[in-house]
């Protein structure tokens, strides 16, 4: 494995460089889209359950099936990285929309009432009271979405765009485990580092929740 | 090629060893066997950790660790190490089943109201009775949620198994891609997606009717009686 790494460091680095944007761009798009969608699920209560169901359905579509179908829906080429980005954005949106909704619903009603009584209007109350208090739940969702995106990108290698997944298909074609092992380890490491970064952000932006660890 | 009949409507694609029913059965077979193996390993461990609280570090971190393992890499690594066949694929699929079952079993048990457990102990129940008559029934919604995400994960990954020479619905995708038969690719994607959605909805129904009404609040007239209870999202554990 060490031999493989030292002889092919350029290939491995190129794969990693391709992997990172394919995982993080959809994370960003999905989270940005999920904030308004999740809010609507709380603002209009009747939307909450349809939102949960729709999110469950999108989340249950196997990634490979979505990757190969999107070119027909979007009119993109099958080898285009856009397919991966759109597919992972959809998964992120599906997961995050319900997380945002659950996060906002978890905010203690007496706090929003207090904010209203202090003269906060709806928008300001949302941005300055409800959203910050929902952050622990929302960021727990971001962790999951980030980690799953990082591991899902590699499935794209089966349609020719996969970042570290390209190491898997190459190793498989040569029947040589070293590149696969390198790819798996790098993918897991990337996920672990990302997770740690999000946890640190979470600690920094929600100092009040540090005392009581909410995640069981 | 050259004919315009959609793949799914062509009768020849519905029979024989490459027909859709055959691939579907193989797909469900891989999924079922892997789920059983995963449950056989993860359920006892999860129950033990959840009931005793010992080793909770393992159960808490299994979820994220499992999600971070790249499916395709794991599958191909197993095959290059052990050779082609069902066993390496089964191992890879089983490894994916374990984390969701383990974490949700643990979290479900830990989330049970302590006073209910104390009451059960106070009534003279033995640990085994407390586990099966109090903790498991109350943890069932979360545990079944874990089973749902495990099942979906395996159905999705069993698709990928076609890339290492196995049968299953992934064949339509992989073979279709390799010969540029996009009709077949889309047909495969549609069948797989429908299978996953049907499976998810089916397990959702099971979840609804297996869980005790006293826990789910189903059939309760008072609206909002359980509405305030926080949802424990199995996908986030």
User: Is residue B54 domain-resident?
Assistant: yes
What's the pLDDT at B236? Answer: 78
What torsion do the CA atoms of A168, A171, A172, A176 make, to the nearest 10 degrees?
A: -140
User: Is residue B11 domain-resident?
Assistant: no
How many domains is chain B partitioned into structurally?
A: 1
What's the pLDDT at A211? Answer: 66
pLDDT classification of B218: cutoffs 50, 70, 90:
low
What's the pLDDT at A2? Answer: 79
Can you read off the two tokens belonging to residue B231? 């949802």
- Mean pLDDT rounded to a whole number for chain A: 91
Q: Does A158 touch chain B (CB under 8 A)?
A: yes
User: Is residue B232 domain-resident?
Assistant: no
Tell me the per-residue pLDDT of A118-129, one tens digit each, with 9 for 90 and over.
Answer: 999 999 999 999
| CATH code at position B137 | 1.10.3720.10
Chain A residue whose CA is closest to B160: A64
Q: CA torsion sign, A62 to A64 to A67 to A72? A: negative
Tell me the per-residue pLDDT of A15-40, one tens digit each, with 9 for 90 and over.
Answer: 999 999 999 999 999 999 999 999 99
Mean pLDDT of B43-64: 90
What's the pLDDT at B229? Answer: 44
Contacts of A59 in chain B (CB under 8 A): 152, 235
What's the pLDDT at A216? Answer: 44
Tell me the per-residue pLDDT of A172-186, one tens digit each, with 9 for 90 and over.
Answer: 999 999 999 999 999
- Tell me if B70 and A151 make a contact (CB, 8 A cut-off): yes
What's the pLDDT at A8? Answer: 86
Tell me the per-residue pLDDT of A59-88, one tens digit each, with 9 for 90 and over.
Answer: 888 899 899 889 888 988 888 999 999 999
- Whole-number Å distance between alpha carbons of A165 and A149: 13
Q: Does A79 touch chain B (CB under 8 A)?
A: no
ipTM entry = 0.85
What's the pLDDT at B213? Answer: 82
Contacts of B183 (CB under 8 A, 6+ apart): B6, B7, B176
User: Is residue B102 domain-resident?
Assistant: yes
pLDDT classification of B138: cutoffs 50, 70, 90:
very high
Least Cα separation, residue B130 to chain A (angstroms):
21
Q: CA torsion sign, B39 to B44 to B47 to B50? A: negative
Q: Does B159 touch chain A (CB under 8 A)?
A: yes
Asked if residue A152 has pLDDT above 90, the reply is yes
Asked if residue B3 has pLDDT above 70, the reply is no
Q: pLDDT above 90 covers what percent of chain A?
A: 70
- Tell me if B173 and A98 make a contact (CB, 8 A cut-off): no
What's the pLDDT at A212? Answer: 59
Q: Closest to B173 (Cβ–Cβ): which among A65, A144, A151?
A: A65
pLDDT classification of B55: cutoffs 50, 70, 90:
confident
What's the pLDDT at B221? Answer: 53
Contacts of B90 (CB under 8 A, 6+ apart): B30, B33, B34, B37
User: Is residue B189 domain-resident?
Assistant: yes
What's the pLDDT at A79? Answer: 85
Alpha helices in chain B (DSSP H): 20-52, 56-68, 71-82, 86-110, 114-122, 127-129, 136-160, 170-178, 182-210, 213-216
Q: Does A99 touch chain B (CB under 8 A)?
A: yes
Mean pLDDT of B221-235: 55
Tell me the per-residue pLDDT of B6-16, one tens digit each, with 9 for 90 and over.
Answer: 788 887 888 77
What's the pLDDT at B228? Answer: 39
What's the pLDDT at A101? Answer: 94
- Domain holding B205, by residue range, is 19-214
Please name each of the domains of chain A with its CATH number.
2-209 (1.10.3720.10)
- Tell me if A158 and B72 make a contact (CB, 8 A cut-off): yes
What's the pLDDT at A60? Answer: 84
- Mean pLDDT rounded to a whole number for chain B: 87
């Amino acid at each position: 494995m060490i031999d493989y790494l030292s002889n092919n460091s350029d290939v491995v680095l190129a794969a990693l460089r391709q992997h990172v944007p394919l995982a993080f761009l959809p994370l960003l798009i999905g989270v940005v889209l999920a904030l308004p969608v999740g809010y609507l699920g709380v603002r209009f209560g009747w939307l909450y359950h349809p939102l949960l169901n729709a999110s469950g359905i999108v989340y249950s579509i196997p990634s490979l099936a979505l990757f190969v179908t999107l070119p027909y829906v979007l009119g993109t080429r099958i080898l285009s990285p856009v397919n991966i980005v759109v597919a992972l954005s959809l998964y992120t949106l599906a997961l995050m929309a319900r997380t945002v909704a659950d996060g906002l619903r978890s905010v203690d009603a007496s706090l929003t009432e207090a904010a209203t009584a202090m003269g906060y209007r709806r928008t300001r109350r949302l941005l300055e009271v409800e959203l910050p208090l929902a952050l622990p739940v929302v960021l727990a969702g971001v962790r999951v979405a980030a980690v799953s995106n990082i591991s899902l990108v590699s499935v794209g290698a089966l349609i020719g765009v996969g970042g570290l997944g390209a190491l898997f298909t190459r190793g498989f074609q040569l029947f040589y485990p070293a590149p696969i092992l390198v790819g798996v380890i790098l993918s897991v490491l990337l996920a672990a580092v990302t997770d740690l970064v999000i946890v640190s952000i979470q600690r920094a932006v929600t100092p009040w929740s540090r005392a009581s660890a909410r995640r069981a | 090629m050259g004919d315009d009949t959609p793949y799914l409507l062509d009768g020849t694609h519905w029979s024989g060893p490459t027909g859709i029913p055959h691939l579907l059965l193989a797909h469900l077979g891989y999924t079922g066997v892997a789920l059983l193996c995963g449950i056989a390993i993860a359920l006892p461990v999860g129950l033990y950790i959840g009931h005793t609280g010992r080793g909770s570090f393992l159960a808490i971190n299994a979820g994220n660790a499992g999600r971070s393992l790249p499916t395709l890499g794991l599958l191909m690594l197993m095959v290059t190490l052990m050779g082609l066949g069902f066993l390496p694929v089964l191992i890879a699929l089983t490894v994916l089943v374990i984390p969701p079952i383990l974490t949700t079993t643990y979290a479900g048990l830990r989330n049970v109201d302590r006073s209910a457990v104390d009451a059960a102990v106070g009534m003279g129940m033995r640990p085994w009775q407390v586990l099966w008559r109090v903790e498991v029934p109350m943890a069932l919604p979360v545990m079944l949620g874990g089973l749902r995400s495990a099942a979906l994960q395996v159905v999705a990954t069993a698709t990928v198994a076609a890339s290492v020479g196995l049968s299953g619905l992934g064949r339509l995708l992989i073979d279709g891609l390799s010969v540029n038969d996009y009709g077949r690719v889309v047909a495969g994607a549609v069948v797989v997606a429908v299978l996953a959605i049907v499976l998810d909805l089916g397990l959702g129904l099971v979840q609804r009717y297996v869980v005790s009404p006293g826990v789910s609040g189903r059939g309760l007239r008072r609206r909002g009686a359980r509405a305030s209870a926080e949802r424990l999202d199995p996908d986030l554990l």
